[in-house]
Structure 1
Amino acid sequence: MSNPADLGVSSLVLQTAEGGDINPVYLGIFVVYLLLVLAIGAWAYLETDDVNDFWVYGKRLGPWLATWSYVANFVSAVSVIGFIGAVYGDGYSIMTGIIFGLMLGVSGLYFVVHKVRELNHVTFPDIIAELTGTEVARPIAGFVLLANAWVYLIMQLVGAGLLVTVITGVPYEYMIWVIGGVFILYTVLGGLVSVAWTDLVQGTLMVATVAVALVYITLDLGGIVTINQQFAALDSGYVAPLGDGTYTGLAVLASIVAFFGTIFTSQATIIRINATDSIRTAKIHLAAAGVILAVFYTMLIMLGAGTTVALTDAGLTVDNVDMAFPVLITEYVPTTIGTVIIVAILSGILSTTDTRLHACGVTTARDIYDYFTGGEASDEKLMRVSRLSTIGFGIAATAIAVNPPGTIIGLYEWRAVLLTSALLIPVYVALYSRDTPGKAVLLSIILGTAFGPGWEAFGAPFGAPPTFMGVGMALIGLTIGHLVLKGQKETPAETAVGND
């Protein structure tokens, strides 16, 4: 299997930076879309009275809004462009290596969501602080989560910028700033109120329009069976669970662990759980979202196969797999169908962009600023810090997205290693084993953070997957810390934060 990171999204950006002939139809659709989400942001600003509204919707998210907000948050540029591109490059093996892990994560979270919601906090570091009995856990975990959210934000902007540049003809460097600016603005205005309601609109459009696109491709190419037969004829490895043989069972297992871990440790997910109006709603929204996402990803992978067959039949090829779906839109399907597909892609990408922007603001204000001010900051001050940090991280991510450091899938894999290595083992052991020493949990977080991404940065020596190294070192740190520190009492200054 080819490594998506080796394909170099930076070269793709250079190739598309000049744009092309302006397509007034697609450009018009995009402008209307941006105006719609801005209008929702303006309305949400009027509905946001305090920092509790901005952070967690006043903890009144109902089942319907929570479900579609989670679905839209879950589906991103990775899903709509990256996954289809991965199918174009490597076939159905992505189902084994990534999507299976993601769906396991949603299923697994369902069985622990009641424990998370019972703690009645705002953020993931709040929970870690209570589980460890150490306030310093808040900024430590907060910095890990900020790095994850920021990288995720960059890849969303890259995906949106590449897509819109190709379909509208507007140069990439201009489009990336337009997209970043609009989503910074409406997220700053209404916080989770803006995010949740735009997610409802975008999630519904996304699932419906992907279904329409799949129906069109299926009918155009002669049916699902025909597509699968032609897909297999292109390369028998495309339909093999492990691809062409270079995707080993060990690599699959490491990938499943990594992506399983990202669900359990996502700040955006924890914020949404804590924003629901009850434990019952928290469980319902995960169960319903899991069903919707399972159907959606099945459709998306089938659409990836159809994209590969359609481009091949038309004699169209792409040098970068991330361009497969945009090229299908501009060069293969009629404008009417292309319009439908664009709505789906933009909905998937931009719903996740606002979520990560919101998470950056909440994490900075709640988990870092509030800690270093000794918990004395007023609600008004926390609201201001949330908004200013949202603007700052948004501008910085947009600037990086102008010349990004890797492909969408490559960036996605890096943050999966980071989150899983740092937080999966220590946090969920502490959640179920409340006598685990807090300092042992912190040691585990620090070792996982250092060894997972660090091992990947060194090129995974000896063929050991970075996820295994990170999780393994986190487990070793937790075990040693438990043995050495068990029975020690925390000092009064290290007591956990109380419930909000």
Structure 2
Amino acid sequence: MAVNPLTTTILVLVYVAITLVLGYMGYKKTVHAEDYLLAGRASHPVVIALSYGATFISTSAIVGFGGVAANLGMGMIWLTVFNIGIGILLAFVLFGKKTREKGAETGALTFPDLMGKIFHTPKLQLISGIIILLGMPLYTAAVLIGGARFLETTLSISYTTALLGFAIVVAIYVIYGGLIAVMYTDAFQGAVMLIGMSILLVLTYIYLGGVTAGHKALAAMSSLVPEALAGQGMTGWASMPELGSPIWFTLVTTLVLGVGIGVLAQPQLVVRFMTAKENRSLNRAVLIGGPFILMMTGVAFTVGALTNVYFYQHMGKIAVDAAGGNVDSVIPLYINMAMPDLFVIIFMLTLLSAAMSTLSSLYHTMGTALVCDIWGRGQRCAISLRANQIGCVVMMVVSVLLALAMPAGIIARATAMFMGLCASAFLPAFAVGVYAKNPSRTGAVVSMIVGTVIWFLWTVFVHTAEAKVLGISQMLTGAVTILGAPWTVIDPLVIALPISIIVMVVYQLGMKNKTYDS
């Protein structure tokens, strides 16, 4: 790239140094298991908000979903609406306070530990931990891919080198500093992300002649929609697809609902509520978290769609064609082609921040799930700090191997899959658990298992996007999917979550006059 190597090296070293210093500060404050696992339950509202937001928004949102917006258009903005309305307001106000209270009351240290103690059964801790270990590496790998792809393009290094270096730097401060280090670095990285995305939005509109001119140009490109997409219901990059069309179902059920609802039951985010000292901290955090998510996702999706205008004006191609058909390459290509040299470095740091803030939380959550919730269950997650650190290393290795094996263009879909699984498996039991005085333990166990199993079966045998890649249905039944349209484009979440809710409600209603069910 054209950026001065010395400038790049200096800025990257400064960024890494600040990150590692904050990680060291977290390490110095980490004495007990509760410090490592829950940041001592005394986090500042600003730190909570930025940590939650930075963990929520990763390279999958900026690179993966930005690329999807370049392919499917501005309809992705509905996901921003859901992210703010559900992921921030509903999450903090409806679930955050109750989660904090239940966590403090039970002494729970992880999300699976919280579920086990709320429902008074170790089974739920074990089941929750297993689901995390099965599903979270997929999301972690997607985040790793997003960061590594941009480093590969920007620094002209091999993908494998970028991936390994990236994974190791994050692992260093997570392994030694625990959740205190994670939240300190998240807050710093969130600030970098906010600066980078703000500049990106302003420069994009300047290049396209202003807000009105940019969006008019995008709307005028509807005739350039590829036949394959037009045949599936796409009407243009500035409008929603045809109601009920395959692309409409993909956009609404997989991307908007899958991620928009799935955020409510993500273990790495739920734990943030348990780090607050009091409910007032969560109220204050909302005022920061809402605008932060608006700038992160709103900018990524808007700029993603508008890249079509830029590439058509400069290359005579729509964005995905310019990127060689890989939606994950659209945003990195746009940044490297369109932006000033200095901003390429700034945006690289923005993506590093987005990826590192999410990765650190995922490493931490997977490591504690392995050590606290599966191996050390019943020992209050206090086997030793060393054991928790080893757990983080093991899950980092698993995630890196998975990232090396995953196909191109997978970032957004892998993210939606993980969040859909979280909602289907955890949300009904979690919602009842934090609100009901006498929650049904049997209902929670059955709901969690049913939600997970149905989500998996629909993913493997019905939803074409995954079933075709996995090939299990083809191998067992001789057909890519066992059902036809429109079921093949309806996301597993839309089927699994309602059934999981019904199961939980039925069992809970049967608990009316009981203290605990057997």
Question: What's the TM-score once normalised by structure 2's chain length?
Answer: 0.84
1:247 deviates by 3.0
* Aligned equivalents of 2:295, 2:440: Cα separation in 1: 41
Out of 333, 338, 344, the position equivalent to 1:332 is: 338
Out of 159, 162, 170, the position equivalent to 2:157 is: 170
Task: Report the AA paired with residue 81 of structure 2.
Answer: F
1:37-436 to 2 correspondence within 5 Å?
A: 37-96=19-78, 98-105=79-86, 106-109=88-91, 110-119=93-102, 120=104, 121-235=108-222, 237-242=236-241, 245-248=245-248, 252-253=252-253, 255-315=255-315, 317-318=322-323, 319-371=325-377, 374-375=378-379, 379=382, 381-405=383-407, 407-436=410-439
1:21 deviates by 10
**Aligned positions, number:** 468
Per-residue CA deviations over 1:200-243 (Å, capped at 9, x if unaligned) read: 11111111111112211211221011110111122252111337
Check conservation: 1:21, 1:169, Cα contact below 8 A.
no
Question: What's the TM-score once normalised by structure 1's chain length?
Answer: 0.87
* Aligned equivalents of 2:194, 2:28: Cα separation in 1: 29
In structure 2, the gaps of 5 or more residues are: 223-234, 464-482
Q: Structure 1 residues 405, 449: closer, same or farther in 2, change over 3 A?
A: farther
1:370 deviates by 2.8
Per-residue CA deviations over 1:394-451 (Å, capped at 9, x if unaligned) read: 1111122123246101101111221111111222134333334211111010000100
Check conservation: 2:121, 2:441, Cα contact below 8 A.
yes
Check conservation: 2:426, 2:448, Cα contact below 8 A.
yes
* Aligned equivalents of 2:168, 2:300: Cα separation in 1: 29
* Aligned equivalents of 1:243, 1:72: Cα separation in 2: 33
Task: Report the AA paired with residue 230 of structure 1.
Answer: A
* Aligned equivalents of 2:4, 2:448: Cα separation in 1: 49
Check conservation: 2:190, 2:353, Cα contact below 8 A.
yes
1:328 deviates by 1.4
Check conservation: 2:64, 2:328, Cα contact below 8 A.
yes
Q: 2:220 is paired with a residue of what secondary structure?
A: helix
1:298 deviates by 2.3
Q: Structure 1 residues 253, 166: closer, same or farther in 2, change over 3 A?
A: closer
* Aligned equivalents of 1:289, 1:402: Cα separation in 2: 33
Per-residue CA deviations over 1:343-370 (Å, capped at 9, x if unaligned) read: 2222112211111111112222332233
In structure 1, the gaps of 5 or more residues are: 1-19, 495-500
1:133 deviates by 2.3
Out of 438, 442, 452, the position equivalent to 2:445 is: 442
Partner of 1:8: none
1:91 deviates by 0.5
* Aligned equivalents of 2:337, 2:199: Cα separation in 1: 18
Q: 2:363 is paired with a residue of what secondary structure?
A: helix
Instruction: Decide which moves more: 217-226 or 469-478.
Output: 469-478
Partner of 2:498: 472
Q: Structure 1 residues 214, 248: closer, same or farther in 2, change over 3 A?
A: closer
C-alpha root-mean-square deviation of aligned residues, in Å?
2.5
* Aligned equivalents of 2:23, 2:247: Cα separation in 1: 44
1:6-21 to 2 correspondence within 5 Å?
A: none
Instruction: Decide which moves more: 104-113 or 149-158.
Output: 104-113
Task: Report the AA paired with residue 412 of structure 1.
Answer: T
Task: Report the AA paired with residue 439 of structure 1.
Answer: T
Task: Report the AA paired with residue 116 of structure 1.
Answer: T
Task: Report the AA paired with residue 457 of structure 2.
Answer: G
Check conservation: 2:197, 2:295, Cα contact below 8 A.
no
Task: Report the AA paired with residue 176 of structure 1.
Answer: L
Q: Structure 1 residues 148, 34: closer, same or farther in 2, change over 3 A?
A: farther
* Aligned equivalents of 1:214, 1:248: Cα separation in 2: 26
Q: Structure 1 residues 405, 306: closer, same or farther in 2, change over 3 A?
A: closer
